[in-house]
Amino acid sequence: MPDSVTAFAPLATERFLLRPLRAEDAAELHRLVNDWEVAKTLARVPFPYPRDLADEWIGSTAERVAAGEAYHLAIARREDDVLVGCVGLTLDVAARSAELGYWVGRRHWGQGIAPEAAGRLSRWALANLNIDRLTASALTDNARSAAVLTRIGFRETGAGAQDFLSRGGAMPVRLFEAGRADFAPPPAAPAAAPEAAADSKPILLVAAVGLIDADNRVLLARRPEGKPLAGLWEFPGGKVHPGETPERALIRELKEELGIDVTEACLAPFAFASHGYEAFHLLMPLYLCRRWQGQVTAMEGQTLAWVRPMRLADYAMPPADRPLVALLRDFL
């Protein structure tokens, strides 16, 4: 399955740019991290921190980004590119998870830099890497770091011990974890009808389509960062607006999202999903379509994949889609 990240494009936050580290960052990085107050909180940083190690480590980060193994980035001020700290993720491909780490130079403490940077990288990772989970840890005596993690959406899951180079041995740590649901923006649920029972959920009507190309491959689109369920793959489509039929909604969505023209006659009803999410109940008719006009284009910058029916299971999809995937694979 394709990894959507080939070259790393810097991530912007309100005040900072999370960008690949450069050789020129070494001197400032060394100055900031060769500080006991910083080094003592980091598992893999020795103290004192040799100046050469800064060059070596920066060199290794570029290789690991290129290999898709780890994303260790500079936190640089947007206005003057001054390095204030680092934020990073190390992937565990088999576990579909990544470990988050960060530090901020002492002279830059007290400005909320760590949550801003770590929150942005976490949301990006769940939307763009093939992972479902983030992990992190903080020394039990580092309440400030634990507070950063809970502030950005992590949950504390237990305690453990970890080797700390700077401390010369194992130290007790608090363990944290976060998944998609922890970072989701509030779901855009329709308002419940006034006469609805107090415990009933509003029904959300979404129309979706399995576009099938001449090679019998199905188009999936990756839900972008910032939307609920970001990073999961889905059938193109969207909410049916008031006064629209599902077919009209799909014709509109396919034009907006993929730049193609579809006619109602080419939308064949296939199956539907009926699934209870926390805030609403999804009702989603799935159509199949083999004929359209125009070139399929990611009009909203989303990642697209043409997938063979037998490979559909390799793509993590929303829970509502699971029965549809099985039906589609059998049908195609």
**321 contributes a contact to ligand 8DG by CB under 6 A:** yes
Nearer to ligand 8DG by Cβ, of 48 and 202: the residue is 202
**Cα separation, 296 vs 279, whole angstroms:** 32
d(CA 117, CA 15): 9
247 binds ligand 8DG (CB under 6 A): no
The residue count for binding ligand 8DG (CB under 6 A) is 15
- Report the site for ligand 8DG in 276-295 (rule: CB under 6 A): 282
Tell me the closest approach of the beta carbon of residue 167 to ligand 8DG, in angstroms.
Answer: 45
The stretch among 4-12, 85-93, 168-176, 226-234 that binds ligand 8DG (CB under 6 A) is: 226-234
Give me the sign of the Cα torsion angle 317, 320, 325, 326: positive
Nearest Cα neighbor of 262 from 196, 209, 330, 187 is 209
Q: What is the DSSP letter of 293?
A: B
Q: Does 188 bind ligand 8DG (CB under 6 A)?
A: yes
Which of 76, 131, 206, 288 touches ligand 8DG (CB under 6 A)?
Answer: 206
Among 46, 68, 190, 238, binds ligand 8DG (CB under 6 A): 238
Nearest approach, Cβ of 130 to ligand 8DG (angstroms)?
18
Of 290-319, which residues contact ligand 8DG (CB under 6 A)?
A: 318
Q: How far is the CB of 257 from ligand 8DG (least distance, A)?
A: 7
Q: What are the distances in angstroms from CA 291 to CA 90, 248, 263?
A: 42, 16, 9
Residue 54 φ/ψ, nearest 5 degrees: -60, -45
Q: Which is nearer to ligand 8DG, 143 or 188 (CB)?
A: 188
Burial 3-14, CB ≥16 within 10 A → b, else e: eebeeeeebebe
For ligand 8DG, which residue of 208, 230, 260, 328 counts as binding (CB under 6 A)? 208
Decide: 257 and 238 in contact? Cβ < 8 Å. yes
Closer to ligand 8DG by Cβ: residue 11 or 324: 324
Q: Does residue 210 bind ligand 8DG (CB under 6 A)? A: no
* Cα 289 from Cα 269, distance rounded (Å): 9
Residue selected from 105, 119, 210, 228 as contacting ligand 8DG according to rule CB under 6 A: 228
Query: Whose Cβ is closer to ligand 8DG: residue 22's or residue 227's?
Result: 227
Question: Applying CB under 6 A, which of residues 57, 102, 183, 235 lies at the interface with ligand 8DG?
Answer: 235
Q: Cβ contacts of residue 326 below 8 Å, gap of 6+? A: none
* Residue 238 backbone phi and psi in degrees, to 5: 175, -175
> Cis peptide before 194, with omega less than 30 degrees from 0?
no
CB of 214 to ligand 8DG, least distance (A): 22
Helices (H), 135-213: 143-152, 180-183
Residue nearest ligand 8DG by beta-carbon distance: 238
- Hey, which bits of 119-164 come out as E strands? 133-139, 155-164
Interaction between residue 178 and ligand 8DG (CB under 6 A): no
Q: Establish if 234 lies at the interface with ligand 8DG (CB under 6 A).
A: yes
User: Closest distance between ligand 8DG and the C-beta of residue 216, in Å?
Assistant: 19
- 85, 101, 119, 237: residue in contact with ligand 8DG (rule CB under 6 A): 237
Site membership for ligand 8DG, residue 116 (CB under 6 A): no
What are the residues whose beta carbons fall under 8 Å from the beta carbon of 18, sequence distance 6 or more? 10, 11, 12, 73, 74, 75, 76, 87, 117, 120, 121
On whether the CB atoms of residues 302 and 320 are closer than 8 A, the answer is no
Q: By the criterion CB under 6 A, which residues form the site for ligand 8DG?
A: 188, 206, 208, 227-229, 234-235, 237-239, 282, 318, 320-321
